[in-house]
Amino acid sequence: GVQTCALPISCLNALGLEMLENGSYAAAQTYFAQVLSLLEAHEDADDIAVASCLFNLATADMLLGDYGTALSLFKRSLQLHESRLRPDDSSTAQILAGLGELHRREGRYGLAASFQTRALLIVERAFGVQHPATARVLNDLGELFRRTGRYPEAERCHLRARAIQEAAFGKAHVYATPSLSKLGELYHVKGDYVAAEPLLRESLKNREEAGLECHPETAVVVLRLACLCERSEEHTSELQSQFRIS
């Protein structure tokens, strides 16, 4: 179980972020909820620290499927950020991207596009077009385009993100893996199995070497590969049948 002893806020927050990155969303939620409770117990708590915690907790809730709670927390976080910072501050972009992802998961694609496009504009201005933060938003936007059947736009987003991440981290680094799996998923959906398989296999290899075998996103890659293998076996069987018939 998750230990919730009286640790400093910074330690609890770090533990929550580690759990979030490793895919242990329920544990992350527990840590972030404790951080929020401690922050809100102090009248002089920094609004930006509270907003950051609200964002982290909203992210954990979203990944656990509690979309109603996540939406409320994202909105509170955005309101605090915008009351203290410029609307185009880079930290605001993170919240906008979170709201975009939440609306995408709920099928509200128009709202998702507006939030993610706004987030992309902010991070490009704040960090530049070749920054990893830009790549993360590009992948989110590409995922949205894929879900809505806009495959050429999705491919452009994921290819841009891949180039940025590989330049920043190296081709085999786990932080360059999201673009590989996103591209693999896109090509799989399009029916381009030859292009999809090496990308998904490379993504899986990078994740396993980083110790993320049990991460939920690793499971998605494994399922995609299983579908590809099944499709390949069906195709081979069809060819063999045709050959026997001829």
Which carries the bigger pLDDT value, residue 108 or residue 90? Answer: 108
Arithmetic mean of pLDDT, 100-114: 95
Would you list the DSSP string of the chain?
Answer: -----S--HHHHHHHHHHHHHTT-HHHHHHHHHHHHHHHHT-TT--HHHHHHHHHHHHHHHHHTT-HHHHHHHHHHHHHHHHHHS-TT-HHHHHHHHHHHHHHHHTT-HHHHHHHHHHHHHHHHHHH-TTSHHHHHHHHHHHHHHHHTT-HHHHHHHHHHHHHHHHHHH-TTSGGGHHHHHHHHHHHHHHT-HHHHHHHHHHHHHHHHHTT-TT-HHHHHHHHHHHHHHHHHHHHHHHHHHHHHH-
Q: Residue 237 — very low, low, confident or very high, per pLDDT cuts 50/70/90? A: low
pLDDT in tens, 71-97: 999 999 999 888 887 767 788 899 999
Output the pTM of the full model: 0.81
Which carries the bigger pLDDT value, residue 31 or residue 176? Answer: 31
pLDDT in tens, 225-236: 888 877 766 544
pLDDT in tens, 138-182: 999 999 999 999 999 999 999 999 999 999 999 888 888 889 999
Whether residue 49 has pLDDT greater than 70: yes
